[in-house]
Amino acid sequence: MPELPEVEVICQGLQKHILGKTIEDIYCSGKQLRVPVDCQGMQRELCGQQISSLTRRAKYLLLSMKNGACLIIHLGMTGNVGIFKQGTARKKHDHICWQFDDNQEMRLNDTRRFGAVHLLPAKEAKRLKKDFFAATGPEPFARNCTASYLHKRAANRSQAVKSFIMDSRTIAGIGNIYANESLFRAAIHPAKPVSSLTESEWRRLLTIIRKTLRHAIQCGGSTISDFVNASGDGGYFQMNFQIYGKNGENCVACKETIQKTVIGGRASFFCPACQREKD
């Protein structure tokens, strides 16, 4: 599933292609995604309208129009968005195509159809957007995402630290890959009770989370399964993985054998020497 860096890379890649353009028509395959696709609603709210901004919130893309309407796009597990010339052959799993006034179109391709496109009509968009993200925590790079905030939120909780930082109600956008990588680089066991971390440890972990995410964005994200960016290229941060997917391999820091466990239903990788569960 595309995580924060992958979605940010797609967002940045698309911006130069679509900002200021007018949507002339919209094609839908007729197949439903995770939520029903309101193709008629999109045609009513978006056609003839100019795109004013494309931003990211958590793992979502937010496409805003000059009339106030907004699309909230989630890429699911295998979704990606790219720009193509109108008239070029569409692929089997191109489920939504937004056609622009410059003979190009933006296509949402989603093989497994776990993605979603939410339409926020112009008259209600501000309220609906606020409601949609009401339970979403701060962005990892935001000023209000601090070590003190995390330390206080974790107080008296026995939850594993990995599950805690992957909870979008705590921090927005941190998925399994970058939780694994950040905890290894911070030398924190993924199953460690979250309430046991000191504010100093939170400060170090937050710094490492930010460095890891920034590095991944610079690398164009990680090519896991079907991720490609807006230009159709894969990312290469996976070449910098130090722990994720390396069960049975030697730790890059101490040569101990990396182990795998399951935490919160997700594969978790750790070095038993570098990331001691109990100090």
| 157 part of the active site | no
Instruction: Spot the catalytic one: 6, 8, 59, 185.
Output: 59
Which DSSP symbol is given to 144? T
Instruction: Spot the catalytic one: 121, 139, 266, 272.
Output: 266
CA distance 41 to 46: 8
| 59 part of the active site | yes
Closest CA to 16 of 128, 102, 135, 80: 102
> For residue 162, what are its two tokens?
């990995």
List Cβ neighbours of 201 (8 Å cut-off, separation of 6 or more): 186, 188
> For residue 198, what are its two tokens?
């000191």
List Cβ neighbours of 131 (8 Å cut-off, separation of 6 or more): none
Neighbours of 147 (CB within 10 A): 18
Instruction: Spot the catalytic one: 3, 45, 181, 201.
Output: 3
Closest CA to 137 of 182, 172, 180: 172
| 266 part of the active site | yes
> Do 222 and 242 touch, CB atoms closer than 8 A?
no
> Do 175 and 224 touch, CB atoms closer than 8 A?
no
Closest CA to 19 of 78, 74, 62: 62
> For residue 109, what are its two tokens?
């391709």
Residue 187, classed as helix, strand or coil, is coil
Instruction: Spot the catalytic one: 2, 5, 140, 190.
Output: 2
CA distance 174 to 136: 12
> Do 10 and 59 touch, CB atoms closer than 8 A?
no
Instruction: Write the single-letter amino acid at 45.
Output: E
Closest CA to 74 of 106, 40, 33, 45: 33
**Which residues are marked as active site?**
2-3, 59, 266
